[in-house]
Structure 1
């Protein structure tokens, strides 16, 4: 499925939902894309997601971050038989930018009450973490 600058694929062999942004997107497209990922995951009951951000270089705005934290992520709590695991795949350049941002703490792995997440620059490592 391609929409909102996003390709979403159900990979039952992994099992995971793989979502790849294909271009820079607007905040409205980001919100619609996250809802499309959730719908795809609901359709197959899949709690493991690989979100490929390597073609997106824009940084999220405070409004977008607030929407993700206050609206989107709360929807994930107890949604599936197992906790949602989200692997963010980013470029090495983006990883360096995040590491160098003043006052930024970009944890590689974190557990929240709604989900678990980790950030990777290697796709194979992301899939291994999702399977773990």
Structure 2
């Protein structure tokens, strides 16, 4: 494969990462902007099988600001899980759709992941542009 082809490929991958990371970052910021904060308790774990094995999504029970009890599954998962049954957790929830929740942590709301994705995309894109311009 020629150096030009590799540069173009790296640039395309960088652009894709930057676009996806930007969309995820905007989505995380918009969610955080409209979300309400509360505290809840992890009442269970839902296992999910993936290519890497089993990950666990915490199921959280909390009460909204208007007094409605809610039980919802977080989109964040892991093995070990990000929170365990019985644990008190800070929760962000969408007041228009209270079952749409995120753990109020650096990694639980998706913002850090989206910034990493965006950063990788920008680095790859800049690398490809600088490589192309210095030839």
Same fold (TM over 0.5): no
| Range class of TM-score, shorter chain | under 0.3
| TM score, norm. by length of structure 2 | 0.23
Give the structure with the higher percent strand.
2
Quick one: higher RCO (CA 8 Å, sep 6+), 1 or 2? 2
